[in-house]
Chains A and B, each alone.
Chain A
Amino acid sequence: MQTRIKKLYAKIGLPHIIIVAFFLFLLTAAAPLGLSVRSLMGDTLRRWAMYGILVLAMVPAIQSGIGPNFGICLGIVGGLLGATVSIELGLANPWIAIIVAMLIGASIASILGILYGSLLNRVKGSEMTVSTYVGFSIIAFMNIMWLSLPFSSGTLIWPLAGMGMRNNISLAGSFGHVFNNWLSYYLLGDKTTGIFIPTGLILVFLAACLAMWLFLRSKTGIAMSAAGENPHFARAAGINVHKMRIIGTAVSTALGAIGIIVYAQSYGFLQLYNAPLMMGFHSVAAILIGGASTKKATISNVIVGAFLFQGILAVALPVVNKVLPESNLPDVIRIIISNGIILFALSKAKGGAANA
């Protein structure tokens, strides 16, 4: 019995136990503090689905052997470009607007992803450091671009200066909440008491998970995972390892673009400039919390990880605000948890480098 518990403990790992316990603690603390558990559940659900695709983007990267993709900012930037172009076109129908945004975003991101993948093929063993700084650089580069790109739509640019895009762009006139509101309803009550179920958003997230699941079981997907798991063996089996890594990176980057658009439509605003700087870290942390390592990740890791990570944030914010009003303790907790879990995963990956 004891050895079994020890084995289970070793398998789960201390940080995960702490995180799950912390989440349960927050949940049990919420009710006595007079918070509506139903609205917390609704919030958790919404944040889980809205962040999920960005976490899902980690799967092809980890499976293809480049490790956790800190450079997901590249995809996010592509998605933001797609979204801004879609707004600039002034498409009236929100469905057409979001699909155009996704198509443009994903195609920009795939092209960037292919280039980025061939860069990562040349820096094997230091992918994580290089990808982090490539991500940071592209965000800084896009800061310059956001100030100087020739957009003219009134919702995009600062009203007075006539130059440079706003920090937060409202999506109310285009595709804001289009997935969230599709088939949405209130569970266990009416508008004030029930749990809001963003059916469309959840369906989109689950559909993306299903597509990734199918992709991983396709011929390309299996070859990609093999290339990630054991490059030497894969090469001996006639798999083009470099090509597979590029495919993994490109799919990951394209998913990043789609992920940020889904995120933005649920949030209602498009955040430019430095807002996505640390999103890569959060996505990496989320999938690691879900039980992935730097070498292996599954769809269930994504679903569990996104739920725990976003759940803690969604519940911690109101709970902490009840105890310590107007504090940013949840932010501090998020910094500690997300970076702590990444450190833990790095210490587990002997040799550190994803492909050592």
Chain B
Amino acid sequence: MHKLKELVLNNKVVLLFGLLCIAAIYTAQNPLTFVAGELFTRIGRNGFMVLALLIPVLAGMGLNFGIVIGAIAAQIAVFWTVYWGYTGSEGFLLCLLLSTPIAIFFGWLVGRMFNKMKGAEMIAGLVLGYFADGLYQLFFLYIIGGIIPVYNERLIISGGIGVKNTIDLTGNLKYSLDNVPMLHIVKIVLAVLAVVSLIKIILGVVKKNPLGHRSWIVLGAAPIAYALTFVPAIKEYLSSDRLLLLHAVLSGLGAVIVWQSWLIVSNKIRRRKEYSLIRPLVYMAIAVGGCLLTYIKPVEKILLYVKIPVTTYLCIVALCLFNAALLRTRLGQNMRTVGQSQTVANAAGINVDTTRIIAMIISTTLACWGQLIYLQNIGTFSTYGAHTQVGQYAIAALLVGGASVKKASSKQAVIGVILFHTLFIVAPQAGKQLFNNAQLGEYFRVFVAYGVIAVSLAMHAWKDRGKTKEPNRNRV
């Protein structure tokens, strides 16, 4: 009972918003398939951006309102790519190549600036976002066409100076990442695996280490898997770019079962005594239960309706893995130390300023890629509006997931995106049902976005103050 109370208290934000979402879905009476479809689109669209916020939190720089600048870097690249006429995955790659150096440079600048304003990173980031927006407008409205000669009727305002309000990405960049077929990714992953294991084997030979049999297995399995992709049925299935949610869920659950059985088998072989069978069996039971759940009619309906863009989702998963992997490196540990105490970090010989700059560079670059994903999915590039709310909404989503200024995880980011965007999808309709006014629902969701940030910042400062209060009193 005590444990349950603790669990509720620790997750009160998530629970509150979960209840709010359920209530809103119930009152809105949108068809569930519509809500689920929209939601999965929005997770793909916005998930990456929210995950880009995690590293500065780790480094003690708070919520990075400066991700707007990463979004700006992406938009500069998108404009030139469209102007030069590159399309599809080629265009997307060009965007990546073009925007990454810009984002790294911007991130370096932002990091240096934040080092001059330690303790005020959040307000500085917020103001910096507005400031950068001003420079961005100056660049897109007057310098393009005014100073840099650009001729294109579709992109430039009729006077010849300045970029139009919206750029249609249909036919060039729209779905350029979402539409990458699974087959390509499978091939790339297999190739990378094969190369990595080959390198490992060669290194093993050179260093005369006893050869790890694992590398051989991978090296042998990769061509076989590659050969399998030529089987017509498999090839046809993989050459699609969207995965039915049902298939995604089933293969996910299947993977759990296979992984747990592998654990059991391998531990039996090694005859580890302390290994208990209960945990994997519970997992497997849950997976089987999940499979059974898919036969319930409404669940099945949703699962058969929603299709997810595989490549985009893989990018998000990869970023989660990257965030987890970073923590295991020396850099990640340095960031955590800097985040906990700059004095201690400094005494331990960590270069605090550099570590903070690196955190900002990573975050800005990730935000830039996040904005590329967002734009290619949404398909219309609103030149002067696409970046303005990026920081606000990403941060609100992260906070709704139960994160705070000091602590945030990938799990919280994902939960936050789901809850926040569910609310976004159903709020107007709920407002219409309750008050006969869709605008009210619209305003309500904006209020939620601002309110959750205000409350969370205030709560954090409040708690922080509680800790430092006593020494202050003693001093006086």
Contact = CB atoms under 8 A, between A and B. Distances in A.
Interface of A: 70, 119, 122-126, 128-130, 132-134, 136-137, 139-141, 143-144, 147-148, 163-164, 232, 235-236, 281, 324, 327-329, 332-333, 335-336, 339-340, 342-343, 346-347, 349, 351-353, 356
Given A129-B123, A143-B443, 8 more contacts: A122-B461, A141-B447, A143-B447, A336-B131, A339-B127, A347-B116, A349-B120, A352-B124
Contacts of B439: 147, 164
B93 interface: no
Contacts of B450: 133, 136-137, 139-140
Contacts of A353: 119-120
A249 to B, nearest CB: 14
Given A133-B450, A352-B124, A163 B119 contact: no
Nearest to A236: B476
6 contacts: A125-B461, A164-B439, A340-B131, A346-B123, A352-B120, A352-B123
B230 interface: no
B159 to A, nearest CB: 9
Contacts of A125: 119, 461, 464-465
Which secondary structure dominates chain B's binding surface?
Answer: helix
Contacts of B120: 128, 346, 349, 351-353
A342 B227 CA distance: 61
Nearest to B448: A140
B99 to A, nearest CB: 23
Interface of B: 113, 116-124, 126-128, 130-131, 133-135, 137-138, 141-142, 161-162, 435, 437, 439-440, 443-444, 446-447, 449-451, 453-454, 457-458, 460-462, 464-465, 475-476
Contacts of A143: 443, 446-447
A336 B129 CA distance: 11
A130 B457 contact: yes
Contacts of A339: 127-128, 130-131, 134
A11 to B, nearest CB: 19
Contact of B126 (A122, A132, A139, A163): A132
Given A140-B451, A147-B440, A148-B440, A129 B457 contact: yes
B134 A335 contact: yes
A349 B124 CA distance: 12
A343 B65 CA distance: 14
Contacts of A140: 443, 446-447, 449-451
A123 B439 CA distance: 33
B137 A335 contact: yes
Contacts of B116: 347
B123 A328 contact: no
